[in-house]
Amino acid sequence: MDFIFQNILNALQWGSFYALIALGYTLVYGVLRLINFAHGDIFMVGAYISFFLASFLLGPLVGLSPAMVFLITVPLTMLLTSCVGVTLERIAYRPLRRKGAHRLYVVITALMCGLILEYSNLAVLGASRLKFPELIEKQIWDVGGVSITNLKVLVIAAAIVVFLFLQWVVTRTRVGMAMRAISYDKFAIPLMGIPMDNIIVVTFVLGSGFAGLAGLLFAMSYPVLEPFMGMLIGWKAFIAAVVGGIGDIKGAFVGGFLLGFIEVGVVSVFPSSYRDLFAFTILLLILWMKPTGLFGMPQSTKI
Amino acid sequence: MVLFAVGLLVAAHYRFIDSYIQIVAMTIGINIIMSTSLNLVNGNMGEFTCGHAGFMCVGAYISSILSVACFGSKFGDPLLPASSVLFVFPIILLIGGAVAAVSSLLVSVPSFKTRDDYLAIISIAVNYMILSALENMDFIGGSRGFQGMKDTVWAMVDIFDGPWMLFWVILFTALTVWIIRRFISSTYGKGVNAICQDEVAAEIMSVNTNKIKIINFMIAAGLAGCAGGLYAHIIGYVNPQSFNILKSTEALVMVYLGGMGSLSGAVISAIIFTGLLEVLRSQALIDGLLSPITMMFPDWEPSAGVIKWVMIPLLLVIVMQFRPEGIMGNRELSDVFPWLKKFYRFK
């Protein structure tokens, strides 16, 4: 029994990371119908930014206490990471969108931007792995044989709060209404006096900011940083977003946790090298049964 | 073209060009096969699949296992005499391609119902599944990789001392381009283009979309499987991780750089892309290019292998900004230079 609860807790934590990244994918996709393949690398950049911020603030120049550093690092990381996301949008995606390029060329550009981020990081900082400093003192509570650390609770809570926040933004605010409108009809929106570019920038700010938050939390939970950490987790989060039904906030959240549960469940029973095989087979079967994902709406096309 | 190929072979035979240039030429050939076959799915049919390297992996493993079983000594005695290698080797490659074609059913059957981005996911998932399945098979080395294919190549060299692998690569590249050209200009090819334009309308116009999708995916994956078999025999070692998503990305880049649905564009972009990869490998060139920056930061030592992967995506992003439809767009070489129509016709 303890074994099961412990694994459920691990799955919740692991799924939270997927959910946080998948939310960013799905936001950008829902508005622009663009698969932002650089998103996993924005997550990586977020982890590095938080590392440098934390080391700077803990260092001899400033010398704050770890708890204070944590409180300052979270908003700063989110801000700086969203700057990276918006820069990518300004430099690479917007000119292509203006020229009316085919959707897939923008996707390829996004892939290339991801590669640039990864390898320029490798070139500038070198291949040595970095160790993230411990910001929150680790507390382990033992509840009926199940060990719960405060970090795990923090991560899971962060994922749920972010989900509720994004759901509120998209369904209840004026910006969210504009986002939904853009995804509904891109050509009528400028006629209605809605500043399309500003709304898209807001989307990128939200998506990249929460990728930065995910990077910070990931670096705190698994304190080793390397340039390629975002690649695999980014692809998998994208798959999770699609299985949930891409473009739908709830779908990304559920898909992320589903992938987390499948992976941890497989690892706890089989050898860990079977993880990808089982996870992807199950996801393939889900997509086979429901081709538009769990919460996606089938699109009707006019001829 | 024929003269050029024969000239390359003769030059390689009499050691006018060293083995480095031969390897580069073979890599270009393999990349041409990869990009033209992916172009069949992503360009002509207008789907977005990004798991092409998975089929290459299937072809590479199947043909390596067969070739080691037939001519190597790893699984016990060789099954076939070494003198038959010249006839058996292309058959081995084709069997590898056939198995890869069958494995493409994993993508093509879901594609009856799913479209664009969902299909992209299915193909990525299939790519991961193939790699993960191979990593868990211990009798072919698992994640440590599999080797022993060089025995077959040496058996060929024993019969006649020449650049055999270069010959096979050139042959299969020419075969691929020929097959794809014939396929696209056939009735089936018109059906493929019709699916790209509008799938529902194509179905109303009595195009059997499911059948055409299966055939198209099978041809593309089969050719990728042949490319994988050639790759395995050139390197002499295969490892599941050398066919990961990065390899698929390379194929995608070649297709979109050349222009969607343009066969000659895919060939040209494969040559340019592979050439760039090789040119930027030189440390001296990178040092020269970056000398102003290294002057300012003397303790920063960039390595060419890393800088290469910053500069190539950067170049591609810039190309995309100025020419968002790829090098050739939707046109063929003979549309751009009409005098070429004297030599070959297309469509």
**Chain A residue at shortest CA distance from B303:** A123
* Cα B56 to Cα B59: distance, rounded to the nearest angstrom: 5
Interface ipTM > 0.90: no
The pLDDT tens digits of the residues spanning A10-41 come to 888 888 988 988 888 888 888 888 888 888 88
pLDDT in the model for residue A193 = 85
CA distance B134 to B152: 22
Question: To the nearest whole angstrom, how far is the Cα of A284 from the nearest Cα of chain B?
Answer: 6
Interface contact flag, A284 B325, Cβ < 8 Å: no
Question: What whole-number distance in Å separates Cα of residue A30 and Cα of residue B49?
Answer: 20
Chain-chain contact of B313 with A92 (C-beta, under 8 angstroms):
no
What's the predicted TM-score (pTM) here? 0.83
Is the CB of B309 less than 8 angstroms away from the CB of A277?
Answer: no
Predicted local confidence at residue B347, as pLDDT: 45
Which helix or strand (DSSP H or E) is residue A81 part of?
Answer: helix A66-88
B238 DSSP 8-state letter? E
CB contact (8 A) between residue B200 and residue A276: no
Say if A280 is an interface residue toward chain B (CB within 8 Å): yes
Q: What is the C-alpha to C-alpha distance for residues B312 and B57, in angstroms, rounded to an integer? A: 25
In chain A, residues 73-92 whose CB comes closer than 8 Å to chain B: 92
Helix (H) or strand (E) run with residue A16 in it: helix A2-32
Say if residue A270's pLDDT is above 90: no
Q: What is the rounded CA–CA span in Å between residue A237 and residue A37?
A: 11
- Asked whether the beta carbons of residue B317 and residue A102 sit closer than 8 angstroms, the reply is no
Distance CA A240, CA A253 (A): 9
Q: What is the DSSP letter of B42?
A: I
The residue of chain A nearest to residue B106, with distances taken between CA atoms, is A284
Instruction: Say yes or no: domain B19-342 is CATH 1.10.3470.
Output: yes
Per-residue pLDDT of chain B (347 residues; tens, 9 = 90+): 666 667 766 766 666 677 788 888 888 999 999 999 998 888 888 888 888 899 999 999 999 888 888 877 777 677 777 777 788 888 888 999 999 999 988 888 887 777 777 788 888 888 888 888 888 887 777 778 788 777 788 788 777 777 788 888 888 988 898 898 888 888 888 888 888 888 888 888 888 888 888 999 999 999 999 999 999 888 888 888 888 888 888 888 888 888 887 888 888 889 888 888 888 877 777 777 777 777 676 666 667 777 778 888 888 888 877 877 777 777 777 777 776 666 665 54
Q: For residues B149 and B237, what is the distance between their CA atoms, to the nearest angstrom?
A: 7
Please enumerate in sequence order all residues whose Cβ is within 8 A of that of B341, keeping only pairs 6 or more positions apart, or say none.
B334
Q: Which residues from chain A sit within 8 angstroms of residue B309, using beta carbons?
A: 115, 118-119
A82 token code pair:
């969203």
Long-range contacts of A102-107 (CB under 8 A, 24+ apart): A102/B260, A102/B324, A102/B325, A103/A33, A103/A34, A104/B42, A104/B48, A104/B256, A104/B260, A105/B256, A105/B320, A105/B324, A105/B325, A105/B326, A106/A34, A107/A34, A107/A35, A107/A37, A107/B48
Instruction: Using a CB–CB cutoff of 8 Å, tell me whether A98 touches chain B.
Output: no
R_g of chain A computed on alpha carbons: 20
Using alpha carbons, list the distances in angstroms from residue A200 to A2, A247, B14: 46, 14, 61
Helices (H), B141-290: 150-159, 164-184, 187-197, 199-204, 209-235, 245-258, 263-279, 283-289
The pLDDT score that the predictor gives to residue B15 is: 66
Residue in A closest to B252 by C-alpha:
A108
Burial of B41 (0-12, 13-18, 19+ CB in 10 A): buried
Residues in chain A closer than 8 A to B307 (CB atoms): 119, 123
DSSP for A116-165, please give it: HHHHHHHHHH-S--EEPPP-S---EEEETTEEEEHHHHHHHHHHHHHHHH
**Under 8 Å CB-to-CB from A59, ≥6 apart: which residues?**
none
Q: Is A273 close to B260, i.e. CB distance below 8 A?
A: no
Residues of B in contact with A288 (CB under 8 A): 110
Q: Do B143 and A292 touch (CB under 8 A)?
A: no
Q: Is there a contact between B317 and A113 if contact means CB atoms under 8 Å apart?
A: yes
Candidates A99, A112, A301; nearest CB to B324: A99
A303 with B200: Cβ contact below 8 A: yes
Q: Are strands B237-238 and B146-147 parallel, antiparallel or unpaired?
A: antiparallel
User: Comparing C-alpha atoms, which of B251, B270, B269, B250 is closest to residue B329?
Assistant: B269
Task: List C-alpha distances in Å: B233 to B123, B132, B251.
Answer: 26, 22, 20
Q: Compute the distance between CA of residue A265 and CA of residue A259 in angstroms, rounded to an integer.
A: 10
| Cα–Cα distance measured from residue B279 to residue B27, given in angstroms and rounded to the nearest whole number | 13
Residues B321 and B307: their CA atoms lie apart, in Å, by 21
What kind and span of H or E run contains B237?
strand B237-238
Tell which residue, B341, B327, B187, has the closest CA to residue B261: B327
Mean pLDDT, range A137-156, rounded to an integer: 78
Q: Where are the domains of chain B?
A: 19-342
Residue of A87, A88, A97, A104 to mutate, interface with B, max B Cβ within 10 Å: A104
In a mutational test of the B interface, the residue from A90, A112, A294 whose CB has the highest number of chain B CBs within 10 Å is A112
Say if the Cβ atoms of B309 and A108 lie within 8 Å: no
For A145, other C-beta atoms within 10 Å of its C-beta total: 10
**Tally of CA atoms within 13 A in the half-sphere of B219 that contains its CB:** 27
Phi-psi map region of A245: left, alpha, beta (phi>0 left; psi -120 to 50 alpha): left
Residue-wise pLDDT for A78-114, tens only, equals 899 999 889 988 888 888 888 877 777 888 888 888 8
Spell out which residues of chain B touch residue A246, defining contact as CB-CB under 8 Å: 117-118
